[in-house]
Structure 1
């Protein structure tokens, strides 16, 4: 816990990390908490009409001064350029925040439409398989068009899944990440669409597994485990109810649990028997499953899941594809809870695939309403991430404010030009 003390504004000096006891709208600074970088900022704090501020001693470069009278205050006109500069920067930040929220809103609408289509086509698969496959192809072709038409893609964090919607979120998440990866790997349109189709239906075979087995809270019996391990084969049986399902996508369904060393299922295939599409979906499926296992108490953060995948699946998963997944999501994927160099806590909301070191962070600020929480661009603010931490490590009020997702789901949008 950081040491914080209340000090008179006359005790401030450059290098102190301060927290202002006034509302965000009542001062020109970008944040309520920040490190003082110039003497003029101290003068401006004094001009706010407050006598005391809070100084975080652990995050300060120097200790506050002993209280002493201040010499003649700088004339107000000397502060005018700084006030103008800060006001301008703050207004730019507000406009940028509005733009980010608009982009996120558009992406969420597109995600919700895709999820509704996904739910609808899965429900049609038994009764009207031809319609289901046709609608799936239209969905995947639409996503592919968006992917290939836009170079400046941003990966956004979506809202939490509704109860019992896990299979839809998981399937769409795996499909979107597979297609993004395929694009980044330079695959052609046909392969991007094939892996998208296969990934969309990769877990559909679980519809043939009794719900009491899938939702069983105690340990599964050996026959139950073996039955669940047949769901890739059940999935292929489902999509073969029509002869219009693309042949190239079938291995994605059959082999999404197969590993390069033969330790996977249902057939225990080796690397030589697994096509690139099968190897790619295995990587993405394993990543999403690490984040969202059946036993939620064992769920890993996106940051931890990537590290675990890299360290523990050597020889099992295609290392090139694992590396590309890490490069695409960044060191701190959307959904990661982080601490910044400013001392603030936040949650990664989005990453621009071309600027992975500077994700967009929703930052906790006790003086800003939750629905107006600032979303900042690390590059623009000159900040960086100190560490990633599990959501459970957050103080309750920060946890409730940031609202970390139980199910981390992604969808992409295009970053609009400023």
Structure 2
């Protein structure tokens, strides 16, 4: 049914009407510019905004009847409207709180954009490090050390959740270095959550950056093959840890523990991994943590079929139980939330949102960016569902959403 809008004087508003305010989101205290009036207090607040009219939304037939009724009124002879009453202290406090929230939202989006820019610079730096491996391993180590330092600075400056948005961004075409940096960041965040020693975290971060460099020697036609690999092709792929060790011959990159993690990142606790079929405590603790980060990023950013973050978590718990360290799996849920950072969800009010972080008060009420076409995407609200008294109705598959929603909620705000 087609929906029409009728310009209605504020004094004609009634509870139950669906309206649109002719204001930007910064100019009123409501969650959305379009909403249904729930109580007389909302009408009073609208009146104090100084508006002469709002837009009433109705089906075409009803809109025509409403317009006819308005036309029949003798508005031209009505007395001049009184000056809007001054807001009460309670209403002023509400407006101040709204302004603070808006400013916090603007600051958040600025942080996301800055973090994105720095993340992309780190990607290029890691790509350069891969290029230095053969001729200058010391230079490769220095570049990688700078990447790790940048990631640590981002965690301190923007917070872990903003950085995790980069990991979940599904940036096509970024290449092997994108996976290396993602695994590094996720593994560092997991290790920090588990109170690992900073020196151990640094060694693991270095191993994460280079754990898959052996795949640089494997043809793209094999790595990106869409049908099952032949046995020789699979054996070629499975040899990438060994090839990586051959490439990490520099004094620093050849550190015993770094080589151990690179060699064993595909080993599984139940002995089903490769290349040696190690089991349990034969796999060092840092390698076990690195494997969890590697598996998760492979599922959400792999070269083949990608899973949405919530499905990736479900997959790990269903199909990798007994293979991956259960304590680190639980830490992954704690860090990412029940609805992982980057997930698209439908809320209990039918709005679509993107999860941008956890709310430690309630794992079921994440922080989200809400899709609202009436709000510029650079200013989209970032709120906790707990504060809005909303819940997640269901997770959504990003690829099945309209492009307008995907673009609005995407990480890349460079052209917005």
Distance 1:210 1:255, change over 3 A: same
Alpha-carbon offset, residue 251 of structure 1? 2.0
Distance 1:108 1:177 in 2: 16
Partner of 1:125: 133
Residue pair 1:348, 1:360 contacting (<8 A) in 2 also:
yes
Distance 1:285 1:351, change over 3 A: same
Alpha-carbon offset, residue 131 of structure 1? 1.5
Distance 1:244 1:289, change over 3 A: closer
Partner of 1:99: 107
Partner of 2:78: none
Partner SS, residue 77 of structure 1:
coil
Larger radius of gyration: 2
Alpha-carbon offset, residue 146 of structure 1? 6.7
Residue pair 2:13, 2:43 contacting (<8 A) in 1 also:
no
Q: Structure 2 matches for 1:165-180, cutoff 5 A?
A: 165-180=174-189
Task: Confirm whether residue 262 of structure 1 aligns to residue 271 of structure 2.
Answer: yes
Partner SS, residue 85 of structure 2:
helix
Residue pair 1:201, 1:235 contacting (<8 A) in 2 also:
yes
Partner SS, residue 340 of structure 2:
coil
5+ residue gaps, structure 2, are 60-68, 74-80
Q: Structure 2 matches for 1:302-317, cutoff 5 A?
A: 302-317=309-324
Q: What TM-score, normalized to structure 1?
A: 0.79
Distance 1:177 1:162, change over 3 A: closer
Distance 1:141 1:85 in 2: 42
Distance 1:245 1:142 in 2: 22
Residue pair 1:329, 1:353 contacting (<8 A) in 2 also:
no
Distance 1:83 1:138, change over 3 A: closer
Distance 1:343 1:6, change over 3 A: farther
Q: Structure 2 matches for 1:131-150, cutoff 5 A?
A: 131-141=139-149, 143-144=151-152
Worse overlay, 150-159 or 39-48: 150-159
Distance 1:225 1:19 in 2: 60
Worse overlay, 326-335 or 394-403: 394-403
Partner of 1:44: 45
Task: Confirm whether residue 399 of structure 1 aligns to residue 406 of structure 2.
Answer: yes
Distance 1:292 1:276 in 2: 24
Q: Structure 2 matches for 1:376-415, cutoff 5 A?
A: 376-403=383-410
Task: Confirm whether residue 345 of structure 1 aligns to residue 352 of structure 2.
Answer: yes
Deviation per CA, 1:323-376: give whole Å up to 9, x if none. 100111112222111223343212123457788665442222122233443333
Taking CA–CA contacts closer than 8 Å with sequence separation of 6 or more, which of the two structures ends up with the larger relative contact order? 1
Residue pair 1:337, 1:404 contacting (<8 A) in 2 also:
no
Counting helix residues as a fraction of each chain, which structure ranks higher? Answer: 2
Distance 1:151 1:209, change over 3 A: closer
Partner SS, residue 260 of structure 1:
coil
Partner SS, residue 42 of structure 1:
helix
Number of aligned residues? 386
5+ residue gaps, structure 1, are 57-66, 406-418
Distance 1:163 1:126, change over 3 A: farther
Distance 1:348 1:397, change over 3 A: same
Partner of 2:257: 248
Out of 200, 203, 214, the position equivalent to 1:194 is 203
